[in-house]
Amino acid sequence: MSSGYQWSGVSAAQVEEWVQQSNNPADSAQQWQATRNLQEWTASNVNVPAILLQLLTTSCGSNARPNTSTHREAVQFYALTTLGRLPLAPEERRHMRTFLLSQFSFLAANGSDSRSSTNTPSSPSAFLRNKAAMLLTQQILTDVPTGNWNTVEPDLLRLAGTDPLLFLKTVETLLEDFQTNETDKDSIRQVKDFLKGHLTPHDTNPTFLESLFSTVAQILSQSLSTNPSESKHAVILLAIQTVKGFFQWTELIFLGKESANRVLEQLLVCLQPQQPEEIQWTALQAWQEWITSDSVVSKERESSIQTATDPKLPVLTALLEKIHEYNLLPYTGESAYEIEVVIEVGKVVNTMGLEITHLWQQTASNGNADDSSVHTLFHQILDLFFRAFAYDDIDVSLAVLPLASKLAAVMSDEPAHDAKDSCNQLLRRHLPQTLNILYQQIKYPKDFSFNFIDDENAEEEQYREELGKLYVKLVRVAPTTCFQFVCEAAAQWLDRTNSSNTNDGCITMSNAPTPDLEATLRLLYKYCEGIRPTPGMKTAMKNQTFCALLVALHESPIANHGHFEILCWYYDVAVRYYPIFQHSNHTILLSRVLDAMTGARGLQHGHARVRSRCCYLLLRLVKAIAPLLRPFVETAVAGIQGLLTNTTLELRPDDTLYLFETIGLLLGKTGIDAPEQARYLTLVMTPHVRSIEKSLQDPRLLQDTEFFGDRLAQSIAALAHLSKGFSKPAQSIQLVLMETVNITQIIMEALPNHEQVRNKTMVLLPRMIQCLGDQVLDKIPRFLYILIEHCNSEDVLFVSQIFNQLCIKFKEASVPVIDGALMPFLRKCYALVPATDDVAGTSDVPPHLRTEQLSIQKLTFVVLQHIVTHNASAVLMSPTNVGNLESVLRSMSDGAVYVTDPIVQKTCVKFFREWLEQLTNQNTELNRYRRGFLVFCGQTFLPGMLHVLLSPSFDHRDAMQARVVAELAGALYGWASQVSDNDALELTSRIPALADNSNVAVALRAVGSAKDAETWLTQIFQSYKS
Counting Cα atoms < 13 Å in the Cβ hemisphere of 39 gives: 7
Nearest to 1007 by CA among 968, 964, 956, 954: 968
| CA separation for the pair 990, 714 (Å, rounded) | 58
Q: What per-residue confidence (pLDDT) applies to 843?
A: 52
Is residue 714 within 8 A of residue 692, CB to CB? The reply is no
- The per-residue pLDDT for range 54-71, each reduced to its tens digit, is 888 765 444 434 456 677
Nearest to 221 by CA among 264, 174, 179: 264
Residues 6+ apart with CB under 8 A from 594: 629, 632, 635, 636
pLDDT of 744 > 50? The answer is yes
- The per-residue pLDDT for range 573-596, each reduced to its tens digit, is 999 999 999 988 888 999 999 999
3-state secondary structure 83-143: HHHCCCCHHHHHHHHHHHHHCHHHHHHHCCCCCCCCCCCCCCCHHHHHHHHHHHHHHHHHH
Is residue 377 within 8 A of residue 319, CB to CB? The reply is no
Residues 6+ apart with CB under 8 A from 682: 736
Query: Per mean pLDDT, which range of 389-403, 420-434, 630-644, 689-703 is the poorest?
Result: 420-434
Q: What per-residue confidence (pLDDT) applies to 251?
A: 82
Query: Per mean pLDDT, which range of 41-45, 140-144, 677-681, 855-859 is the poorest?
Result: 41-45
pLDDT of 510 > 80? The answer is yes
- The per-residue pLDDT for range 833-883, each reduced to its tens digit, is 765 444 444 456 677 667 777 888 899 999 999 999 999 999 999 999 999
Query: Per mean pLDDT, which range of 449-463, 556-570, 699-713 is the poorest?
Result: 449-463
Q: What per-residue confidence (pLDDT) applies to 6?
A: 59
Residues 6+ apart with CB under 8 A from 754: 705, 706, 709, 712, 713
The most confident of 197-211, 218-232, 761-775, by mean pLDDT: 761-775
> How many Å separate Cα 914 from the centre of its chain?
44
Is residue 966 within 8 A of residue 937, CB to CB? The reply is no
Q: What per-residue confidence (pLDDT) applies to 759?
A: 95
Is residue 403 within 8 A of residue 357, CB to CB? The reply is yes
- The per-residue pLDDT for range 72-113, each reduced to its tens digit, is 888 888 889 988 888 888 888 898 888 888 877 766 555 544
Residues 6+ apart with CB under 8 A from 350: 385, 388, 399, 400, 401, 402, 403
- Report, as an integer, the average pLDDT of 157-161: 93
- Report, as an integer, the average pLDDT of 315-337: 89
Q: How far is CA 331 from CA 274, 391, 434, 444, 775, in A?
A: 21, 8, 15, 21, 76
Q: How far is CA 189 from CA 244, 632, 999, 1011, in A?
A: 20, 75, 67, 62
Nearest to 482 by CA among 546, 571, 567, 538: 546
Is residue 73 within 8 A of residue 20, CB to CB? The reply is no
pLDDT of 3 > 70? The answer is no
* H-helix segments, 577-630: 587-598, 608-625
pLDDT of 804 > 90? The answer is yes
Residues 6+ apart with CB under 8 A from 271: 280, 283, 284, 322, 323, 326, 328
Greater pLDDT, 951 or 504: 951
User: What is the chain's percent helix, strand, coil content, to nearest 5?
Assistant: 75, 0, 25
- The per-residue pLDDT for range 214-265, each reduced to its tens digit, is 999 999 999 998 877 777 899 999 999 999 999 998 888 888 888 999 999 9
Greater pLDDT, 1022 or 220: 220
Other beta carbons within 10 angstroms of residue 463's beta carbon come to 17
Is 559 exposed, middle or buried (CB count within 10 Å of its CB: 0-12, 13-18, 19+)?
buried
pLDDT band at 405 (very low <50, low <70, confident <90, very high): very high
Counting Cα atoms < 13 Å in the Cβ hemisphere of 321 gives: 10
| CA separation for the pair 384, 350 (Å, rounded) | 9
Is residue 772 within 8 A of residue 728, CB to CB? The reply is no
Greater pLDDT, 937 or 373: 937
| CA separation for the pair 186, 184 (Å, rounded) | 6
DSSP codes, 697-762: H-TTTTTSHHHHHHHHHHHHHHHHHHGGG-SS--HHHHHHHHHHHHHHHHHHHH-TT-HHHHHHHH
CA angle 68, 130, 54 (to 5 degrees): 55
Would you tell me the crossing angle of helices 959-976 and 902-921 to the nearest 10 degrees? 20
Counting Cα atoms < 13 Å in the Cβ hemisphere of 849 gives: 12
- Per-chain mean pLDDT for the chain: 86
> How many Å separate Cα 682 from the centre of its chain?
45
Nearest to 391 by CA among 450, 351, 347: 347
